[in-house]
Amino acid sequence: MIRAHTVEQVRAAEARLLAQLPEGALMQRAAHGLAHAVLDLLGGGYGRRVLLLVGSGDNGGDALYAGAVLARRGAYVEAWLLSDKAHAAGVAALGQAGGVVRRLDTSSASASDYPTTEQPRSSSRERAQRATVSRRSDFDVVVDGIVGIGGRPPLREGAAAALEAVAGVPVVAVDTPSGVDVDGGELVGPHVVADVTVTFGTHKVAHLVDPASTASGVVHLVDIGLDLPEPALEALQPADVAALVPRPGPHAQKYTRGVVGVRAGSAAYPGAALLCVAGAECGLAGMVRYVGDPSVADRVRAARPEVVGDGRVQAWVVGSGSHDGAEEALRAALADDVPLVVDADALAFADRVGAAPAVLTPHAGELAAMLGVERDEIEAAPLRHARAAAERYRTTVLLKGRHTLVAEPGRPVRVTTSGTPWLATAGAGDVLSGVIGALLAAGLSPYDAASVGSWLHGAAATLASQGGPIVAGDAARALPAVVATLVG
């Protein structure tokens, strides 16, 4: 499991550990992990050129100490101090290791080596640009030590200008890409876009949740020994999914494995029925029933002879392509008093679900309609809105996206990081709702069914895609192979 904690949780764990360790030990752990990640990226230290962007806090301290390690490995290391409060011991350590320190907030284009003398004031943007514009391509890497968990977005003007001046150079962010909203994963102004983020102790929410995760690049976690509580967020990994995927016992038969019923599709949208059934027929439940428009039911049976008609089920999937039959389909499914997946057209009636165990599966547009906000508000803050919907409906809400979120009151939000951009294709959601329905029928809780289903769907799409285009049915067809790899 990959876990992400809030700034407050990290600070509390850090305080407990700091009390047990010699002064500076924690920062040294962080800095060495950071330095080694930079060495890995550069393929060594000797002859490499490293620029440190250093803010006023310990994030800059990490960068400076890592810079000292790199300088001792033969790298040319230059630090631009963006604040006159930069970590003093770190500055001294870098100087002793042979690094060059320039104070961008007090010096001009002819930035002199640390210590500098006070220069006439000009705007921070001008100073940064003058000091950097001729050198932007000289560096092999920029280490972003501007702000970490103490930062308040967006990035300040001087820092943003320094970043602009080195655009195009690969960036390693220290702990978090500076300027992102660390706990919310939102992007509210200028921020660093990192190629690699080296973080300490635990992941932060912004590393996993969109849109901020797009600014984090590859995230490398350095263990510094923090003892942490239940996370705010978690991302299932293959071993976690393998532990949760239902398997038939030695005496299993179709009914004990669970029967999933599909009330989806309509004469107007027969394809949704076929795709939802394709997901439900992933093999994780013992049997699939289809109930719907007779002409659609004929097509489902013609395509999938294993599918049977109405009868007892352990879970229902309702709403994909149901069109104007969605309300009635939901009413009929609720009457059975079994867990259900509420998708697409049925989401408009999600209030009727009440206390029934359920997974609501909106995309951003559908969630916007449910919460009465604009779609772009959801896209700018998916985590906040997924949580709000889970509270509002008191149930499990799966918000589809590049990194799908599963929120349930009182539980860490689960984020899906399997998948491929090629999965953004018509009908993918229909397949997903069918897969989740199968997992519910097999006995998983709504929270596990939604997060495991989403992970399997993403992994199946990645397998089917092989880096190229796919259609929704390809993901459904690849899903058994993904499960076989996991449980084999």
Ligand X SMILES: NC(=O)C1=CN([C@@H]2O[C@H](COP(=O)(O)OP(=O)(O)OC[C@H]3O[C@@H](n4cnc5c(N)ncnc54)[C@H](OP(=O)(O)O)[C@@H]3O)[C@@H](O)[C@H]2O)[C@@H](O)CC1
In this structure, the strands spanning 396-399 and 141-145 are unpaired
144 is a site residue for K ion (CB under 5 A): yes
Closer to ligand X at the Cβ: 24 or 480? 24
- The pairs formed by 236-240 with CB atoms below 8 angstroms and a separation of 24 or more are 236/1, 236/414, 236/416, 236/451, 236/452, 236/455, 237/1, 237/2, 238/459, 238/486, 240/1
State how far the alpha carbon of 170 is from the alpha carbons of 158, 194, 423, in Å. 20, 7, 28
Closer to ligand X at the Cβ: 188 or 348? 188
Closer to K ion at the Cβ: 66 or 370? 66
Distance between alpha carbon 45 and the CA centroid of its chain, in Å?
Answer: 31
164 is a site residue for ligand X (CB under 6 A): no
**What does residue 55 show for φ and ψ, rounded to 5 degrees?**
-90, -160
Asked if 368 and 377 touch (Cβ cutoff 8 Å), the reply is yes
E-only strand ranges, 386-449: 396-399, 405-407, 413-415
Look up residue 163 and give its two tokens. 């970043």
Of 132-140, 149-157, 345-353, 389-397, which part binds ligand X (CB under 6 A)? Answer: 149-157
- Tell whether residue 252 is among the known ligand binding residues: no
30 is a site residue for ligand X (CB under 6 A): yes
Asked if 338 and 313 touch (Cβ cutoff 8 Å), the reply is yes
59 is a site residue for ligand X (CB under 6 A): yes
Among 174, 182, 208, 245, binds K ion (CB under 5 A): 174
- Tell whether residue 430 is among the known ligand binding residues: yes
State how far the alpha carbon of 416 is from the alpha carbons of 32, 45, 171, 401, in Å. 30, 36, 25, 9
Of 80-88, 171-179, 294-302, 355-363, which part binds K ion (CB under 5 A)? Answer: 171-179
458 is a site residue for ligand X (CB under 6 A): no
State which amino acid sits at residue 116: T
- Tell whether residue 448 is among the known ligand binding residues: no
DSSP 79: E
Asked if 474 and 488 touch (Cβ cutoff 8 Å), the reply is no
156 is a site residue for ligand X (CB under 6 A): yes
Give the other-Cβ count within 10 Å of 239's Cβ: 10
State which amino acid sits at residue 166: V
Residues 77-106 that bind ligand X (CB under 6 A): 83, 85
In terms of residues, how long is the chain? 488
62 is a site residue for K ion (CB under 5 A): no
Shortest Å, Cβ 160 to K ion: 13
Closer to K ion at the Cβ: 191 or 289? 191
144 binds, among K ion, ligand X, none (CB under 5 to 8 A by kind): K ion
- Tell whether residue 154 is among the known ligand binding residues: yes
Handedness of CA 379, 383, 384, 388 (dihedral sign): positive
Which string of x and - marks every residue 195-234 that binds ligand X (by CB under 6 A)?
-----xx----------------------x-x--------
Shortest Å, Cβ 122 to ligand X: 18
Among 3, 12, 14, 379, binds ligand X (CB under 6 A): 14
Closer to ligand X at the Cβ: 64 or 476? 64
3-state secondary structure of 288: strand
Handedness of CA 431, 432, 433, 438 (dihedral sign): positive
Closer to ligand X at the Cβ: 4 or 435? 4
- Tell whether residue 62 is among the known ligand binding residues: yes
Look up residue 288 and give its two tokens. 């699939």
Closer to ligand X at the Cβ: 118 or 227? 227
Which residue intervals of 178-325 are DSSP H helices? 205-208, 238-244, 254-257, 270-280, 294-303
3-state secondary structure of 334: helix
Closer to ligand X at the Cβ: 67 or 429? 67
Shortest Å, Cβ 28 to ligand X: 9
- Tell whether residue 251 is among the known ligand binding residues: no
Closer to ligand X at the Cβ: 161 or 450? 161
Shortest Å, Cβ 38 to ligand X: 14
- Tell whether residue 58 is among the known ligand binding residues: yes
163 is a site residue for ligand X (CB under 6 A): no
Of 23-31, 243-251, 297-305, 427-435, which part binds ligand X (CB under 6 A)? Answer: 23-31
Among 105, 175, 240, 448, binds ligand X (CB under 6 A): 175
**Residues annotated in a binding site:** 58-62, 144, 148-154, 175, 178, 272, 321, 363, 400-404, 429-430
Contacts with ligand X, residue ranges (CB under 6 A): 10-11, 14, 26-27, 30, 55-60, 62, 83, 85, 146-153, 155-156, 159, 174-175, 200-201, 224, 226
